[in-house]
């Protein structure tokens, strides 16, 4: 792993104040050259972040029986709830983490739920700790607002209208939020679980990651694995497969992985900002003709051959993460 490179650090304050084109161009350059950047001065309340982290630690500190009261097996087609260590797979390999899946809170009477649309519905919230639901939903709202601003900046970086992505893909985005706990590892556990999360790319447009101070995240930049160290009150942002596809490789969805070597529990909070489930995915109006670059993806797939909606793409991917659960819940 190389220690000579680092992902760009971008101050977002001027864009939030005045839609500064210079900041948008910095983000575009980072998306093209690295596929990753660290965002500071983003406007998300630091107290809210601390509350989320504290409540998450309390939830995961419970025994397995208590956590399983909101098991994903109870979440149905909404694909929400808790999973224990070893049940989530990356490239067929069990990850050394446990977690909770959340999404937009959608009531039973919503037409999308009535239609049985996968990945839409109510969240499963635990009774303990008190206040967890309110904090999670407030955090999701704050992150959704920030993601809309980031996509405005990305639109501008591509010489598109600031509302381009909002108009075509994200007026009603698919929101996916995860809270992950990576237990401290050991030599014995490493044989069973080589990685907290194995090599992968994200599926949607943009991921905004809050990570704690333990480290362990690595990104593959120009064939080198580099550490992405924690920066206080920041978010690690990375390009997803759909933004790579839409720009035909101008902005790159690049692999990343996690290994918790801190000797302590590690917590991370990835927020996925994705196109609408029914949005048709196609390249951006010929703006990036001939920009596709041949590259070997971690999964050996040809991303640019995909045809269909974002929901089509996403369901094929998530069915490999929890294959047994997918057979019963997503059919």
For 33-56, the pLDDT digits (tens) are 999 999 999 999 999 999 999 999
Q: What whole-number distance in Å separates Cα of residue 52 and Cα of residue 133? A: 10
* CATH, residue 36: 2.60.120.330
| Residue 164 maps to a domain | yes
pTM: 0.95
SS3 content of the chain, % helix, strand, coil (to 5): 35, 20, 40
Dump pLDDT digits (tens) for 87-107. 999 978 999 999 999 999 999
Q: Note whether residue 4 is domain-resident.
A: no
Is 3 a domain residue? no
Would 2 be classed as within a structural domain? no
For residue 286, the model assigns a pLDDT of 55
Is residue 103 within 8 Å of 117, Cβ to Cβ? no
CA gap 8, 166 in Å, rounded? 25
> For residue 291, what pLDDT band results from cuts at 50, 70 and 90?
low
Give the number of residues written for the chain: 331
pLDDT score for 192: 87
For residue 294, what pLDDT is reported? Answer: 47
pLDDT digits (tens, 9 = 90+) for 108-144: 999 999 999 999 999 999 999 999 999 999 999 999 9
Residue 13's domain spans which residues? 9-329
Counted domains in the chain: 1
Instruction: Tell me which residue has tokens 């997503």.
Output: 330
Q: What pLDDT score was predicted for residue 102? A: 98
Asked if residue 174 has pLDDT above 70, the reply is yes
**pLDDT surpasses 50 at 3:** no
Residue 157 pLDDT: 97
Mean pLDDT of 178-191: 86
Decide if 201 is inside a domain: yes
């Amino acid at each position: 792993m190389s220690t000579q490179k680092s992902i760009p650090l971008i101050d977002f304050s001027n864009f939030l104040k005045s839609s500064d084109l210079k900041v948008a161009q910095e983000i575009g350059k980072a998306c093209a050259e690295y596929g990753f950047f660290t965002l500071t001065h983003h406007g998300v309340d630091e107290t809210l972040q601390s509350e989320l982290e504290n409540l998450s630690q309390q939830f995961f500190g419970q025994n397995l029986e208590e956590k399983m009261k909101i098991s994903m097996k109870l979440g149905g087609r909404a694909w929400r709830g808790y999973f224990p260590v070893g049940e989530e797979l990356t490239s067929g390999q069990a990850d050394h983490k446990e977690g909770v899946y959340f999404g937009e809170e959608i009531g039973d009477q919503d037409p999308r739920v009535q239609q049985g649309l996968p990945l839409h519905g109510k969240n499963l919230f635990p009774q303990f700790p008190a206040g967890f639901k309110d904090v999670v939903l407030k955090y999701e709202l704050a992150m959704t607002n920030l993601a809309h601003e980031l996509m405005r900046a990305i639109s501008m970086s591509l010489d598109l209208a600031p509302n381009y992505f909002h108009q075509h893909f994200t007026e009603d985005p698919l929101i996916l939020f995860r809270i992950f706990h990576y237990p401290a590892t050991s030599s014995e556990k490493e044989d069973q679980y080589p990685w907290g999360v194995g090599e992968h790319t994200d599926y949607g447009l943009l991921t905004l990651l809050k990570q704690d101070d333990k480290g362990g995240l690595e990104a593959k930049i120009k064939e080198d694995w580099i550490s992405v160290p924690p920066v206080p009150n920041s978010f690690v942002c990375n390009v997803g497969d759909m933004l790579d596809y839409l720009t035909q490789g101008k902005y790159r969805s690049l692999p990343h992985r996690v290994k918790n070597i801190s000797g302590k529990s590690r917590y991370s909070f990835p927020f996925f900002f994705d196109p609408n489930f029914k949005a048709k995915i196609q390249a951006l109006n010929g703006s990036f003709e001939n920009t596709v670059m041949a590259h070997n993806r971690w999964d050996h797939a040809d991303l640019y051959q995909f045809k269909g909606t974002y929901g089509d793409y996403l369901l094929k991917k998530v069915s490999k993460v929890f294959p047994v659960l997918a057979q019963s819940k997503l059919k």
